Amino acid sequence: MTDTPHGASRTLLVTGPGGDGVSSVAAATALAGARAGRLTLLLSREPADRLAALLGGAPVRPDGRPTEAAPGLWVARIDPAADFRAAVLAAQRTARSTLATLGSATLQDDELTELPGAEPLAVLAALRAAHAAERWPLIVVDLPPALDAVRLLALPEQLRRYLRQLLPGERRTARALRPLLAQIASIPMPADGLFTAAEGWDEALAEGQRLIEAPGTAARLVFEPNARSAATARTARAGLALHGVGVEEIIANRLVPQGSDPWLAGVAARQAAVLAEFAGAALLAEPPRRLPMLVAEPDAAALAELLPPPPTADVARQTPVLEDRLADEGLLVWRLPLPGAAKESLDLVRQGDELVVTVGPFRRVLALPSAPRRCTIAGAAFASGELTVRFAPDPARWPERSPG
């Protein structure tokens, strides 16, 4: 681990299977950070009254503006519906001339309803706004359930790739000639609005991608130790690794106390067995942190007493590594850590200069470094939580080495 540069904000992304107490742990994590003396912002999608209850009755504004809920702890509610309406109205203002040329009617605020997919964009927008404020050294984000959270974190990179394919750079550059063409042809060129909007989308997505890939960003994975949740958490951990997000800590939540009661003893034994199996399958160096089942939930203050302050050191990202074994084996070896992945859920396809890696429900397109692009795939394997791909130089594309 390395220390986050002075003045840089650290982002802690908290997620886990739905219903396993993720929001409670996120609130407790933020409160622990504030108690350690770090000005902290909690971003959450929970309703304002639910957030207030989590934080002991502290008032939370429903409109998304940050409010101080405890000394050093600020809370902002993410409202996907309001964010969606604002985004649509802003896009209409940007493309006003294009819409007028096409004879399109504009939508009013009171007739706009949130569409599927608005939530992840609202979360990303809230994260960008929080960092742009340059106010909080620690930003804790209460993400959607685990599998949706991984897709959310992958979204900026994926959408930017789609934009580049739909509107390549050379076509966007050509828009500089459009005013001249419009003057010669004496007709409006409505595509200008599309190019302008696409450039704005790309800038926003690039900023979101930068924040997700920043050294100070990491995930905290929370799950209740039962078979369903453990399987989801393992899949999510592999998905986070595929998209390069480091996991700062894994928390086993709502453990029942061991005692003389036969029913409680049975539940505790089943939870212990699930944890042992999960730790082995997910290749954990240390067992998950354990949090007990609380008598009265929600109670972020009680949970915060059981959590250490979020660390100030960066967490290693899971990024591909290229190993040069040309001298000894005549191969280049491309390695990608995928802890938690199951071999039967993996798929690998090469498309030109890219590798398409699928891990369970997740897929990522990874650009190859320059050297493997001039090679053919000699084989691939998955062992000990790591995907390895062997590349052999293609004689038709590989420069000849001088003898000796």
Each residue's pLDDT tens digit, 112-137: 566 667 889 899 999 999 999 999 99
Domains of the chain: 10-306 (3.40.50.300), 321-393 (2.60.40.790)
Strands, E assignment, 27-72: 40-44, 67-70
Average pLDDT (50-71) is 88
Q: Is the pLDDT of residue 186 over 50?
A: no
For residue 404, pLDDT over 50 is answered with no
Tokens 């040069």 belong to residue: 324
> Euclidean distance between the first and final Cα of the chain, in Å?
42
From the list 46, 238, 251, the residue with the least C-alpha distance to 154 is: 238
Predicted pLDDT of residue 112: 59
Percent of the chain with pLDDT over 90: 60
State how far the Cα of 105 lies from the Cα of 83, in Å rounded to an integer: 21
The SS3 of residue 385 is: coil
Report phi then psi at 147, rounded to 5. Answer: -65, -40
pLDDT of 403 higher than 50:
no
Residues in the chain: 404
CA–CA separation, 87 vs 217, rounded Å? 26
Whether omega before 47 lies within 30 degrees of 0, making that bond cis, reads no
Give the mean pLDDT of 31-37.
Answer: 95
Determine which of 17-21, 164-168, 310-314 has the lowest per-residue pLDDT on average.
164-168
Q: Are 141 and 43 in contact (CB under 8 A)?
A: yes
Tens of pLDDT, residue by residue over 254-284, are: 999 887 788 889 999 999 999 999 999 988 8
Chain-wide mean pLDDT for the chain? 85
Confidence of residue 60 (pLDDT cuts 50, 70, 90): confident
pTM: 0.86
pLDDT at 312: 82
Strand 386-393 and strand 375-383: the pairing is antiparallel
Backbone torsion region of residue 211, taken as left when φ is above 0, otherwise alpha when ψ lies between -120 and 50, otherwise beta: alpha
DSSP-derived pairing of the beta strands 386-393 and 331-337: antiparallel
Average pLDDT over residues 83-93: 63
* pLDDT tier, 109 (very low <50, low <70, confident <90, very high otherwise): low
Q: What is the mean pLDDT of residues 374-384?
A: 95
Above 50 in pLDDT, residue 187?
no
pLDDT at 18 over 60: yes
How far is 223 from 229, CA to CA, in rounded Å? Answer: 6
